[in-house]
A and B are shown apart, each in its own frame.
Chain A
Amino acid sequence: GENVEQHPSTLSVQEGDSAVIKCTYSDSASNYFPWYKQELGKRPQLIIDIRSNVGEKKDQRIAVTLNKTAKHFSLHITETQPEDSAVYFCAANAGNMLTFGGGTRLMVKP
Chain B
Amino acid sequence: DAGVIQSPRHEVTEMGQEVTLRCKPISGHDYLFWYRQTMMRGLELLIYFNNNVPIDDSGMPEDRFSAKMPNASFSTLKIQPSEPRDSAVYFCASSPGGTGELFFGEGSRLTVL
Contact = CB atoms under 8 A, between A and B. Distances in A.
Interface string A45-89: 110010000000000000000000000000000000000000001
Contacts of A93: 99
Most interface-central of B43, B56, B98, B100 (chain A CB within 10 A): B43
A96 B99 contact: yes
Nearest to A43: B104
Contacts of A10: none
For chain A, which range describes its interface: under 10, 10 to 19, 20 to 34, or 35 or more residues?
20 to 34
A46 B48 contact: no
Contacts, number: 45
A96 B105 contact: no
Interface size class of B (residues with CB under 8 A): 20 to 34
Nearest to A103: B42
B101 A99 contact: no
Contacts of B42: 89, 100-103
Interface in A16-50: 31-32, 34, 36, 42-46, 49
Interface of B: 31, 33, 42-43, 45, 48, 50, 55-56, 58, 91, 98-102, 104-107
